[in-house]
Amino acid sequence: MRTNAIAASIMALAVTLAGCEQTSADANGQTVGASQLRWSSSSARQLRNALDQRAMHGLDHLTFAADGASQADEALTQEALRYARALAQGAASPEELFEIYTIRRPHPDLLQGLRQALAEDKLDNWLNSLAPQSDAYRRLSQAYKDLKAKKAAPAPQIPLKDDPVEPGDSDPRVPAIARQLAASDYLSNTPGSVDRYTPDMVRAVKRMQADYGIRPDGIIGKDALEILNLSDADRARALAVAMERLRWLDRNPPATRIDVNTAAGQLTYWRNGKAVDTRKAIVGEPGKETPQLGSPIYRLVANPTWTIPRSIQEKEFAGKDRAYLHSHNMAWQDGWIVQQSGPDNALGLVKFDMKNDHAIYLHDTPAKSLFDQVQRQRSHGCVRVEDAPGFAEMLARDEGVLDQWRKAREKGEETFVSLPREIPVRLLYQTVLFDAGGEPVVRADPYGWNDRVAAALGFAPGNSHLLRTSNSDVGP
């Protein structure tokens, strides 16, 4: 099923990339077609040079016609627009690759930009300006180029041997295993160059094994090594996908916003262009994935009730009697099961209402222990926020409604506090993070969503290990 979907998406992408015959209005209001642009030998050379260097954007697995001998103006125009679109908006369309993608995207006038670049003989400068100019993108690009210089060896970094690594063993593979456990957040302190498999590492491995459906015995066998093992080729693939995902995003996001990285289970609050708060988040489990949405918070809800969606009601509540409902402060109301306000409500004490067609929002939770998990894809699709009451207090203070919010909390019943302005939220998916030194760290791909992006970029399939969860509760 997934293979067919990816194939269909790539077919749609090919049609999109081929359809570059655009029109644009010049200063006199006259329509100028792409076929009317004229190329100098200098501009043609600049395009060839740019395409020769496309590995800096992770686009070296895609073929462009201008790589060949054709020098016809129209052919050069078509390929310049195709490459420009890949840099400015992404080589793939996320709306084609994913059922739901509503995050704001860039929409520059590429034809007008190309026209001006050709007129000024500055095609190289224009193309260089189209990709993201952020430090994150530059670091990803540099890391990708470094791996390409090594020719991205397909062999795994940690040798796969027949003998497993058991607790207490000394093994030359241990330092590399420890580094990857730390990069994946399972281990806080790495033992450096020590090659003994320590108790701290054993505990970390057991947590990882449980997350991926492997018997949590702490023995590092073939299955565990395959999860920990990333070859240079695997890393290069992940870096290229990370760059593509950044190219999908608006270059000037709102200075005040909330970004949730669902792949990492992490929320970042930006205020006036600065990241002022970062905290953990619980997001949808595989099969109930949190979609990639751009959707604003428009009000805070104190002491929320929870009207249980039909999908959860029909599955998790099938066969539940009135005694069960009563014990969980629930009752039937107008054909729906509604859980009343209280600390045991599945939404906790705070809900952050958002505007979207998918019933996705941020909220508190009584299940605090889930925030201690490394892989925090545990919900039915909504986003649970660590210390949500504290976060709501922060937003209310920043938005000038703190007094109203505190009074609403004190009422003990469901009360709504509108925000004077909406706060944009982006539910992103990014599997490459940065360590304290600014180096890219490849993390898990819990939904397997990188596969279809990598395929659209021309990469061969990689080894993906999907998170397996079995302890999600009935909350949204």
Nearest to 82 by CA among 74, 91, 73, 70: 91
Whether 430 and 263 have beta carbons less than 8 Å apart is answered as yes
Give the E-state strand segments of 176-314 in sequence order. 257-261, 266-271, 274-284, 297-302, 306-307
Token representation of residue 232: 């240079």
Whether 82 and 20 have beta carbons less than 8 Å apart is answered as yes
Q: Is 20 a catalytic residue?
A: no
**What is the Cα–Cα distance from 236 to 400, expressed in whole angstroms?**
46
Nearest to 377 by CA among 258, 278, 471: 471
Q: Are strands 362-363 and 350-354 parallel, antiparallel or unpaired?
A: antiparallel
**What is the Cα–Cα distance from 452 to 10, expressed in whole angstroms?**
9
Token representation of residue 391: 């976060």
**What is the Cα–Cα distance from 388 to 391, expressed in whole angstroms?**
5
Q: Is 380 a catalytic residue?
A: no
Q: Exactly one of 57, 328, 363, 380 is catalytic; name it.
A: 363
**What is the Cα–Cα distance from 445 to 245, expressed in whole angstroms?**
14
Pick left, alpha or beta for residue 244 (phi over 0 → left; psi -120 to 50 → alpha; otherwise beta): alpha
Nearest to 426 by CA among 201, 176, 248: 248
* DSSP label at residue 285: P
**What is the Cα–Cα distance from 254 to 134, expressed in whole angstroms?**
15
Q: Exactly one of 57, 328, 380, 382 is catalytic; name it.
A: 382
**Positive or negative: CA dihedral 132, 134, 136, 137:** positive
**What is the Cα–Cα distance from 25 to 459, expressed in whole angstroms?**
38
**What is the Cα–Cα distance from 207 to 219, expressed in whole angstroms?**
12
Taking the C-alpha atoms of 169, 170, 173 and 174 in order, what is their torsion angle to the nearest 10 degrees?
80
* DSSP label at residue 164: P
**What is the Cα–Cα distance from 229 to 468, expressed in whole angstroms?**
18
Whether 362 and 354 have beta carbons less than 8 Å apart is answered as yes
The radius of gyration of the chain from alpha carbons, rounded to an integer in Å, stands at 25
Chain-centre distance for alpha carbon 290: 10
User: Residues with catalytic annotation?
Assistant: 363, 382
